[in-house]
Amino acid sequence: MLQDQVAVITGASRGIGRSIARRLAALGAYVVLCARHREDLDRFASELCSAGFRAEAFPLDLTRATQIGALAQSIRDRHSRCDILVNCAGIGQMGPPLHQLSPEDWDRLMAVNLRAPYLMIRAFAPLMIERRYGHVINISSLAGHNPLKNGAAYSASKWGLNGLTYSVAEELRDHGIRVSVIAPGSVNTEFGGGQPANPDVRLQPDDIADVIALLVQQRPQSFVSEVLIRPSTKP
Ligand SMILES: NC(=O)c1ccc[n+]([C@@H]2O[C@H](COP(=O)([O-])OP(=O)(O)OC[C@H]3O[C@@H](n4cnc5c(N)ncnc54)[C@H](OP(=O)(O)O)[C@@H]3O)[C@@H](O)[C@H]2O)c1
């Protein structure tokens, strides 16, 4: 279904990004896996290729604009296209309350959760515009719709990501590019380092991959701009 398409997924080494990458690969896309740790990505890329899918690892730190530029150049040189960009990488921090949060922690969260999606869109939108086709999907959070006590910086980064998404969607719409945001509730991953009391009442990473599969296979005349997804049982 996505046989001719190239998909770039950040945060692809584990958790939600990994499930998304596997799903896009299974749908036929050539997937470019991005995260910082090379060994995790190489292992995952080999696993996908052994299953008959097409994948490559591209380790990078999303806080470095030059590394993002190198990724985009490499994809332009080798594939001349990027059909799907999923900005999934993110970091979380619960506590302390905002008035005790260090400026360094604030900057770190904003760099990964908000500045990196901007840099990725800046790097890849030109390739999509050239082909008048593309789908950008940003992974936000319900914390971008609700207050999060002791998580104000994380929440602010996701409220910001939502605003960025709604606005850039209007900028790129006339170029045939759909920009969407998915806002999940609690998902069963290693995110933030914590283990949930009851993982069974959390969303699973594949629940988010299901939504991605729907978004990238919409018919040309439709555009699902935002999906909020919650566990059916309240944690
Ligand atoms: N889990 C939840 O409950 C939940 C709920 C709502 C929304 N979300 C959002 O969903 C997204 C994915 O969460 P997850 O649960 O899958 O998290 P996760 O399991 O902790 O995975 C995070 C991914 O991001 C990568 N990453 C982190 N910093 C990076 C950097 N500077 N440069 C490049 N890659 C970086 C990590 O790989 P490396 O460490 O190798 O770089 C990893 O692949 C995040 O945006 C998060 O805010 C999660």
Give the domain ranges of the chain.
6-229
- The CATH architecture one would assign to domain 6-229 is 3-Layer(aba) Sandwich (3.40)
Task: Give the DSSP H/E element, type plus range, for residue 146.
Answer: none
196-222 burial by CB neighbour count: b if 16+ within 10 A, else e?
Answer: eeeeeebbbbebbbebbbebbeeeeee
Q: Is the CB of 36 under 6 A from ligand 1?
A: yes
For residue 194, the CA-to-ligand 1 centroid distance in Å is 13
Quickly count: other Cβ atoms within 10 Å of residue 91's Cβ: 15
**Dist. CA 17–CA 34, nearest whole Å:** 9
**Ligand 1 centroid from CA 207, angstroms:** 16
- Six token digits for residue 20: 């998304």
Outline where DSSP puts E strands in 5-102. 6-10, 30-35, 54-59, 84-87
Residue 112 Cβ < 6 Å to ligand 1: yes
Count CB atoms within 10 A of the CB of residue 129: 15
Q: Measured from the CA of 112, which atom of ligand 1 is nearest?
A: 31
Atom of ligand 1 nearest to the CA of 17: 16
How many angstroms is it from 38 CA to the middle of ligand 1? 15
How far are the Cα atoms of 86, 200, 203 from residue 232, in angstroms, in the given order? 25, 11, 8
**pLDDT tens for each residue of the chain, 235 residues long:** 999 999 999 999 999 999 999 999 999 999 999 999 999 999 999 999 999 999 999 999 999 999 999 999 999 999 999 999 999 999 999 999 999 999 999 999 999 999 999 999 999 999 999 999 999 999 999 999 999 999 999 999 999 999 999 999 999 999 999 999 999 999 999 997 756 557 777 999 999 999 999 999 999 999 999 999 999 987 6
User: Does the Cβ of 141 fall within 6 Å of ligand 1?
Assistant: yes
Residue 94: what residue type?
Answer: M
* Predicted structure pTM score: 0.98
Token readout for 42 is: 């190489």
